[in-house]
Amino acid sequence: MSRDFDHEGEDFDDELDEDFDEDFGDLPAPAGLDFDPTKTPEGYRSGFACFVGRPNAGKSTLTNALVGQKIVITSDKPQTTRTVVRGIVHRPDGQLVLVDTPGLHRPRTLLGERLNDLVMTTWSEVDVVAVCFPADEKIGPGDRFIVNELAKIRRTTKIAVATKTDLASPERIAEHLLDITALGRETDTDWAEIVPVSSVAGDQIELLGDLLIAQMPEGPPLYPDGDLTDAPEEILVAELIREAALDGVRDELPHSIAVVVEEMGLREGRPDDKPLLDIHANLYVERDSQKGIVIGHRGSRLREVGTTARKQISSLLGTPVYLDLHVKVAKDWQRDPRQLRKLGF
């Protein structure tokens, strides 16, 4: 796959780490592995749920907590989730497929419009939409906007989740739950459940899983046992690189970064017990000035980004990784339909 952005690329080859001796361990086994997928037990339920909420509400962190493995990037920069990545929760009594959507917001760019369309379509296709309201913040116009839009989709079951309860006092949580109830009344939304959780403290995550599964229709598993996500590995890898690049950047830059994995494959001629995964990826920004920020003084920032991303990818895929990362400028890609298509939107 090659892309014809006619801009000079700035290259950074991460150091090849031959003595890669980190202990990656095996991926944690999901719950319910002793269950035989060929025989669907009585009352088994399966279906799709999606978390929505204002930027930074804790949706991605909650997805990871429920799945029990980091599969969606998280960041303290708003609106960093662009790709629909599904996490799969396996239980003896059911299977929950979690769809992670971008945040819904008033569109200002073509990318914004496409993202909103994607969100509305997803809402009408899933069994449950769970709206996340961070307990450390008051309910505001952003939440109201989302719940009002969601109310237009009558058929889908709605659950309210009060997230980040570890950051709020019990009194504040109680007040928050009352505000959520009031918002439901105001918008004619019938919350099937209102659940306070903390993904960081692990509080009530099991319970939320149970309540979500209880809302699913009866049916056989949708994915083979053990699958945690059906997102292509290239997408997960690109997201991890983007997450590393977002760390420590400010203002409009987070929205200007896109990552595309151009090539990924095991290096030939390596002994079986010492595999090495070669990954070639491009990190796109919108302007030359942003390129400088991402690269840093003599490439120091880019080197950090490469090293952080390489470790994360290695631990996700369980293979040592050689990451070849290039920074390129794709002028105003968020407003250009041709570029958006190329970057996978």
Ligand X SMILES: Nc1nc2c(ncn2[C@@H]2O[C@H](COP(=O)(O)OP(=O)(O)OP(=O)(O)O)[C@@H](O)[C@H]2O)c(=O)[nH]1
Residue ranges of the annotated binding site for GTP are: 53-60, 100-104, 163-166
Stretch that binds ligand X, among 140-148, 163-171, 269-277, 313-321 (CB under 6 A): 163-171
User: Where do we find the tokens 């080197």?
Assistant: 303
Nearer to ligand X, 51 or 322 (CB): 51
Rounded to whole angstroms, how far apart are CA atoms 276 and 215?
43
- Answer whether 223's CB lies under 8 Å from 230's CB: yes
- Residue numbering of the annotated binding site: 53-60, 100-104, 163-166
- Looking at the Cβ atoms of 199 and 290, the one nearer to ligand X is 199
Which residue, 58 or 87, is less far from ligand X as judged by CB? 58
**Which positions from 29 to 68 touch ligand X by CB under 6 A, shown as an x/- string?**
------------------------x-xxxxxxx-------
Task: Find the radius of gyration of the CA atoms of the chain.
Answer: 21
Q: Does 167 bind ligand X (CB under 6 A)?
A: yes
Among 244, 259, 234, 285, which residue's Cα sits nearest to residue 8? 285
Residue with tokens 């003595």: 19
List, as one string, the DSSP characters of 118-156.
HHHHHHHHSSEEEEEEETTS---HHHHHHHHHHHT--SS
* Closer of 56 and 314 to ligand X (Cβ): 56
For ligand X, which residue of 151, 173, 200, 205 counts as binding (CB under 6 A)? 200
In the region spanning residues 254 to 293, those forming contacts with ligand X, defined by CB under 6 A, are none
Q: What are phi and psi of 326, to 5 degrees?
A: -120, 140
Q: Contacts with ligand X in 295-314 (CB under 6 A)?
A: none
| Number of chain positions touching ligand X (CB under 6 A) | 23
CA dist 76 and 252 (Å) reads 14
59/328 with CB nearer ligand X: 59
Under the binding rule (CB under 6 A), the answer on residue 164 touching ligand X is: yes
Q: Which two tokens stand for residue 164?
A: 């980040």
Task: Give 323's strand partners.
Answer: 279
Beta strand pairing status for 128-134 and 191-196? unpaired
- Among the residue ranges 1-9, 69-77, 111-119, 148-156, the one whose residues contact ligand X (CB under 6 A): 69-77
Cβ neighbours around 44 below 10 Å, total? 19
The dihedral over CA atoms of 327, 328, 332, 338, expressed in degrees to the nearest 10, equals -120
To the nearest whole angstrom, how small is the minimum distance from the Cβ of residue 267 to ligand X? 33
Nearer of residues 153 and 200 to ligand X, judged by Cβ: 200
Amino acid at 7: H
**Residue 18 near ligand X by CB under 6 A:** no
Residue 122 binds to ligand X (criterion: CB under 6 A): no
Compare residues 163 and 229 and give the one whose CB is closer to ligand X. 163
User: Of the ranges 75-83, 121-129, 137-145, 177-185, which one interacts with ligand X (CB under 6 A)?
Assistant: 75-83
Q: What pairing do the DSSP bridges indicate for beta strands 85-91 and 45-53?
A: unpaired
Of 148-156, 181-189, 197-205, 206-214, which segment contacts ligand X by CB under 6 A? 197-205
Q: Does 87 bind ligand X (CB under 6 A)?
A: no
Distance between CA 156 and CA 48 in Å, rounded?
A: 11
> Beta strand 10-13 with 321-329: parallel, antiparallel or unpaired?
antiparallel
Tokens of 212: 């979500």
User: Which one of the spans 87-95, 138-146, 196-204, 242-250 is the region binding ligand X (CB under 6 A)?
Assistant: 196-204
Residues that bind ligand X (CB under 6 A): 53, 55-61, 74-76, 78-81, 103, 163-164, 166-167, 198-200
